[in-house]
Amino acid sequence: MMKFPLDQAAVVFVDVINNFDFDGGEDLYANTIKIVPHMQKLKHFARENELPVIYVNDHYGLWKSDSKLLIEHCWNERSQNVIGPLRPEEADYFLMKPMHSAFFQSPLQSLLEDLGKNKLILAGIAGDICLLFTAQDAYMQQYDMWIPENCMASETDLGNSHALALMHSVMNAKTDSI
């Protein structure tokens, strides 16, 4: 399953706290709900192997690095089925991001350096936007990556497939399932 040493790895969940209240949100939700069990398995894998779990999320205009406040803001009939099972726990890290990439103007790189982690396991939504940009930045900064194909969702299956193909072929990410 894992293609690199776990002692150097961290799990990064991107945009798991999401309200799905935007054009395309219904399609993104339909594809995201399919990956929730796999993401739960990944989180369990992280706990078993004592890997740090880092949530990096859009701010939804709140600009507060408070996962509970963001959950409350995004909680609705749809989102509760994703946020509920995947919400950050006390031991997890939680960072805000202003744009698509989890690295862009966020403290993610500093946190990873402080933790001594240079291998990333990326998961979340939307695969063809925020995960793709995060993977691109991680690749440019020479992180090794595993992006389980069953832990990433986009509005369309085609967009998700194209993003995975780029991550695998161009960014050298491992994309086998968890």
- Whole-angstrom distance, CA of residue 11 vs CA of residue 124: 11
Structure tokens at 51: 């890997």
What pLDDT is stored for residue 155 in this prediction? 97
Instruction: Tell me, rounded to whole angstroms, the distance of Cα 153 from its chain centroid.
Output: 10
Q: Which domains does the chain have, with CATH numbers?
A: 6-169 (3.40.50.850)
Helix or strand run (H / E) with residue 167: helix 157-169
For 25, list phi and psi in degrees, rounded to 5: -60, -35
Helix or strand run (H / E) with residue 56: strand 53-58
pTM: 0.94
- Whole-angstrom distance, CA of residue 50 vs CA of residue 137: 25
As a residue count, the chain comes to 178
Whether the CA torsion 3, 93, 115, 170 is positive or negative: it is: positive
Mean pLDDT by 10 residues, the chain (178 residues): 79 97 95 98 96 95 88 95 96 94 95 97 96 97 96 97 96 93
Query: In b/e form, how buried is each residue of 126-135, taking b as 16+ CB within 10 angstroms?
Result: bbbbbbbbbb
What pLDDT is stored for residue 3 in this prediction? 63
What pLDDT is stored for residue 2 in this prediction? 57
